[in-house]
Amino acid sequence: MKQLIIVFCLLLSLSVSAQNAAQARKILDKTAALIANKKGATANFNIVGKNLNTSGTIAIKGNKFQATTPQAIVWYDGKTQWTYMKASQEVNVSNPTEAQQQTMNPYKFINLYKNGFNLSMKTISTVWQIHLTATNQKRSIKEMYVTINKNYQPQTIKMRQSNGWVTINVSRFKAKTLGDATFRFNAKDYPKAEIIDLR
In this prediction the pTM is: 0.76
For residue 2, pLDDT over 60 is answered with: no
In this structure, are residues 101 and 108 in contact, taking their beta carbons and an 8 Å threshold? yes
pLDDT at 8 over 50: no
Counting residues of the chain whose pLDDT is more than 70, the rounded percentage is: 84
Distance, in Å, from the CA atom of 176 to the CA atom of 110, rounded to the nearest integer, reads 19
Span 103-109, average pLDDT: 63
The confidence score (pLDDT) of residue 104 equals: 64
Q: What is the pLDDT of residue 63?
A: 81
Per-residue model confidence (pLDDT) at position 131 = 92
Edge to edge, the sheet with strand 72-76 lists 117-124, 127-134, 143-149, 154-161, 164-175, 41-49, 52-61, 64-68, 72-76, 81-85, 90-94, 194-197
pLDDT of amino acid 189: 93
* Percent of all residues in the chain with a pLDDT value above 90, rounded to a whole number: 31
Q: Is residue 190 left, alpha or beta, with left meaning phi > 0 and alpha meaning psi from -120 to 50?
A: beta
What pLDDT, on a 0 to 100 scale, did the predictor assign at position 127? 93
Cα–Cα distance, 30 to 181 (Å, whole number): 27
* pLDDT (average), residues 26-51: 86
What pLDDT is stored for residue 177 in this prediction? 92
Q: According to the per-residue pLDDT averaged within each range, which of 31-45, 127-141, 168-182 is highest?
A: 168-182
Question: DSSP alpha helices (H): ranges in the chain?
Answer: 2-35, 98-104, 106-110
Q: In this structure, is the dihedral angle defined by the CA atoms of residues 188, 76, 154 and 158, taken in order, positive or negative?
A: negative
Q: For the segment 115-165, what is each residue's pLDDT rounded down to a tens digit?
A: 888 899 898 889 999 998 888 877 778 888 999 999 988 899 898 877 789
69-80 confidence digits (pLDDT tens): 999 999 999 899
Strand partners, 93: 82, 197
